[in-house]
Amino acid sequence: MNFMNLIFFVMKKIGILGFQGAIIEHERQIKAIGHEPVIVKYPEQLEEIDGIILPGGESTTMGKILNRTGLMEPLRGKIQSGLPVWGTCAGMILLAKELVNDSVTHLGVMDIAVRRNAYGSQIDSFATKKVIPAVDSKEIELVFIRAPYITSVKDGVKILCELDGHIVAAEEKNMLVTSFHPELTDNTAFLKYFVSKI
Ligand SMILES: NC(=O)CC[C@H](N)C(=O)O
């Protein structure tokens, strides 16, 4: 960190939805760039965070737990009133207003249509590299695990990355989504991009 960054560095409290999935991986990256992770399980915790990550995992399970714990409504309300949120993989599914191959939606706040398990069962995990200009000028490793992709977006959604004609990263106002898992690599560029929006 250079001197100017040190002067202007403000530590942020970054929540991670803490029920299931890639929680410790996000926690590790948040600490690595000098911010404070908060594992969120209760509605009151939404008051103390500057942004929240919805991790990869299993979206149906996370949706059920969000409902059972009473976190679904307050989390939706916070996001709708501007809380910065980044959904990775299952997190993208939780945020989508439409799931093209599922009748149930969850938070349903982002104007994207998403296909779950879009890469099928045979090649359901793979990694590739790509430059995402809005995020970093260098190549980023993209890790896909039983990943969804976005099949269509409405006005107001900015596409950040496409792979083989499918949308795998996008943003709309305070909401950012990725099909892939930057937290499973050593590259913190995507996390820094999210923090820059807080
Ligand atoms: N790595 C992931 O988050 C996979 C998402 C999972 N396939 C789901 O539908 O929830």
**Of the listed 25, 89, 161, 172, which one is catalytic?**
89
Mutate which of 105, 146, 185 to test ligand 1's pocket (most atoms within 8 Å of Cβ)?
146
Q: Residue positions in the annotated binding site for L-glutamine?
A: 57-59, 116, 145-146
Q: What is the pTM of this model?
A: 0.94
Tokens, residue 2: 């250079």
Instruction: Report whether pLDDT(8) > 90.
Output: no
The model's pLDDT over 10-33, given as tens digits with 9 standing for 90+, comes to: 899 999 999 999 999 999 999 999
Question: Any catalytic annotation for residue 181?
Answer: yes
Q: Whose CA is nearest to atom 3 of ligand 1?
A: 56
Tokens, residue 139: 């190549």
Give the pLDDT confidence score for residue 87 in this predicted structure: 98
Which single residue is written with the structure tokens 């898992």? Answer: 181
Phi-psi region of 4 (alpha: psi -120 to 50; beta: other; left: phi over 0): alpha
The model's pLDDT over 159-184, given as tens digits with 9 standing for 90+, comes to: 999 999 999 999 999 999 999 999 99
Q: pLDDT over 90 for what percent of the chain?
A: 91
Instruction: Measure 91 CA to ligand 1 centroid, in angstroms.
Output: 8
Q: Whose CA is nearest to atom 6 of ligand 1?
A: 58
Tokens, residue 62: 């996370």
The model's pLDDT over 68-127, given as tens digits with 9 standing for 90+, comes to: 999 999 999 999 999 999 999 999 999 999 999 999 999 999 999 999 999 886 567 899
Instruction: Report whether pLDDT(155) > 90.
Output: yes
DSSP output for the chain = --HHHHHH----EEEEE-SSSSHHHHHHHHHHTT-EEEEE-SGGGGGG-SEEEE-SS-HHHHHHHHHHHT-HHHHHHHHHTT--EEEETHHHHHHEEEETT-S--SS--EEEEEETTTTTTTT-EEEEEEE-TTT-SSEEEEEEES--EEEEE-TTPEEEEEETTEEEEEEETTEEEESS-GGGSS--HHHHHHHHT-
Is the predicted ipTM greater than 0.85, yes or no? yes
Atom of ligand 1 nearest to the CA of 145: 1
Instruction: Report whether pLDDT(196) > 80.
Output: yes
Give the pLDDT confidence score for residue 76 in this predicted structure: 98
Q: Residue positions in the annotated binding site?
A: 57-59, 116, 145-146
Query: How far apart are alpha carbons 43 and 63 in whole angstroms?
Result: 15
